[in-house]
């Protein structure tokens, strides 16, 4: 059977290979190089939610998570926190946000109230002003629910450009797969005591100030697998990860068991992955611990021995042996962030 690919599928939104391919074909390839970034800036020549324009960092993200309220957070908390984290991951100190809310006709005002309460609570907690925004309503036959786009603006003296280097250690700052597992549990009706790890990562700016960090990312949609594959591809290096060192809570495995989903492809909302020189690995881990994180060194960056090894991620499995950790493809859990 030949499938006619003339329509958008959920797979196109997986944040992995399908999204990359779609964006390359339908957007990036159409733009001349000069319109992919500003002079001296970082743009979509490095595809990402954010950009650096001189000392200004700008990040944008559209939040579509469903259910809107989940243990540990809500789409409102996520819309602020997720974009703050995008700014922080580029080395920016968030100084302002804008929001743009699109809701379907008939959306509950009580839910909108809870959502905006959560947005405001996070803005207060992080002390970031909301300086502008937009609000649209779409007829109910075209849209149910809510989409919240947020824009984060930050200032940086030292942008993080995400180029891993040979000899780097790969560190995660906390348990992996938790946010995704919470959403999966609600969507599949699986009982769990897990709460989303959703939280701002602004404290990491202290680490970025003190240490040479070659790459930093919060592995949201597409999870650890997407982040590590993007880094390997961008730098042409090989990343080797030790499965038994990845801190995946038992409860995440329990939730995922009936679904066949891979925790390494699941979204996280309160952890970061860092790539730092091996020599400072211990110091960085100590600093992360003192800031309240629970870091684990999970792997390293190698110079590929041949072209086949360039740009790939190898997972040494807990049972011995190793396999390629692929960029996620196909339909992931929809609307996890």
Subset of 16-45 contacting a copy of itself (CB under 8 A): 19, 22-23, 26-27, 30-32, 34-38, 41-44
Q: Which residues pair with 50 in a beta bridge?
A: 59
Q: Which is nearer to a copy of itself, 141 or 191 (CB)?
A: 141
- 2 contributes a contact to a copy of itself by CB under 8 A: no
Residue with smaller CB distance to a copy of itself, 103 or 315: 103
Q: Considering only 48-56, 229-237, 239-247, 263-271, which stretch makes contact with a copy of itself by CB under 8 A?
A: 48-56
Q: How far is the CB of 48 from a copy of itself (least distance, A)?
A: 6
Say whether the peptide bond before residue 266 is cis (omega within 30 degrees of 0).
Answer: no
| Structure letter (DSSP) for residue 4 | -
- Record the tokens describing residue 235, joined without a space: 């730098």
Binding mask 57-86 for a copy of itself (x = CB under 8 A): -xxxxx-x-x--------------------
Q: Is residue 127 part of the contact set for a copy of itself (CB under 8 A)?
A: yes
Burial class (CB in 10 A: 0-12, 13-18, 19+), 121: middle
Stretch that binds a copy of itself, among 130-138, 267-275, 285-293, 313-321 (CB under 8 A): 130-138
Of positions 24, 117, 258, 289, contacts a copy of itself by CB under 8 A: 117
Quick one: 42 or 239, whose CB is closer to a copy of itself? 42
Contact (Cβ atoms closer than 8 angstroms) between residue 123 and residue 94: no
Residue whose CB is less far from a copy of itself, 55 or 195: 55
Nearer to a copy of itself, 134 or 279 (CB): 134
Axis crossing angle, helix 109-126 with helix 75-89, rounded to the nearest 10 = 30
What is the footprint of a copy of itself within residues 133-152 (CB under 8 A)?
Answer: 133-139, 141-145, 147, 149, 151
234-260 burial by CB neighbour count: b if 16+ within 10 A, else e?
bbebbbbbbbeebbbbebbeebbeeee
* Contacts with 64 (C-beta within 8 Å, 6 or more apart), sequence order: 75, 145, 147, 335, 337
> CB–CB of 275/168 below 8 Å?
yes
Q: Which one of residues 119, 172, 181, 224 is an interface residue with a copy of itself (CB under 8 A)?
A: 119
CA nearest neighbour of 246 among 316, 182, 185, 312 = 316
Cβ distance 296 to 282 under 8 Å?
Answer: no
Count, residues near a copy of itself per rule CB under 8 A? 87
- CA–CA separation, 1 and 183 (whole Å): 33
Among 24, 67, 113, 291, binds a copy of itself (CB under 8 A): 113
Least CB distance from residue 242 to a copy of itself, whole Å? 32
Q: Which of 78, 79, 89, 153 binds a copy of itself (CB under 8 A)?
A: 153
Binding of residue 105 to a copy of itself (CB under 8 A): yes
Check residue 188 for interaction with a copy of itself (CB under 8 A).
no
Which tokens in the block code for residue 20?
Answer: 């990359």
Cα–Cα distance, 117 to 303 (Å, whole number): 48
């Amino acid at each position: 059977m030949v499938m006619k690919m003339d329509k958008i599928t959920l797979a196109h939104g997986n944040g992995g290979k399908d999204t990359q391919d779609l964006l390359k074909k339908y957007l990036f390839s159409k733009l001349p190089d000069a319109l992919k970034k500003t002079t001296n800036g970082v743009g979509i020549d490095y595809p990402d939610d954010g950009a650096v324009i001189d000392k200004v960092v700008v990040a944008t993200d559209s939040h579509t998570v469903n259910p809107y309220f989940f243990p540990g957070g809500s789409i409102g908390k996520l819309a602020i926190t997720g974009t703050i984290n995008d700014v922080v991951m580029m080395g920016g100190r968030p100084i302002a946000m804008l929001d743009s809310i699109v809701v379907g006709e008939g959306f509950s005002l009580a839910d909108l109230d809870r959502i905006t309460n959560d947005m405001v609570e996070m803005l207060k907690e992080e002390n970031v002003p909301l300086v502008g925004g937009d609000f649209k309503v779409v007829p109910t036959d075209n849209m149910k629910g809510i989409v919240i786009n947020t824009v984060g603006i930050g200032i940086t003296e030292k942008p993080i450009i995400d180029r891993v280097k040979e000899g780097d250690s790969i560190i995660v700052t906390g348990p992996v797969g938790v946010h995704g597992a919470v959403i999966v549990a609600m969507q599949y009706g699986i009982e769990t005591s897990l709460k989303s790890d959703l939280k701002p990562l602004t404290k990491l700016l202290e680490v970025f100030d003190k240490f040479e960090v070659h790459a930093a990312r919060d592995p949201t949609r597409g999870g650890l697998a997407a982040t590590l594959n993007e880094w390997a591809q961008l730098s042409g290096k090989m990343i080797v990860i030790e499965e038994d060192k990845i801190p995946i809570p038992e409860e995440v495995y329990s939730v995922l068991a009936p679904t066949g989903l891979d925790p390494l492809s699941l979204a996280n909302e309160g952890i970061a992955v860092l790539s730092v020189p091996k020599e400072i690995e211990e110091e960085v881990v100590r600093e992360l611990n003192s800031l309240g994180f629970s870091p684990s060194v999970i792997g390293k960056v190698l110079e590929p021995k041949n072209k086949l090894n360039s740009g790939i991620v190898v997972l040494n499995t807990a049972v011995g042996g190793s396999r390629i950790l692929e960029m996620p493809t196909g339909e992931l859990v929809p609307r996890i962030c």
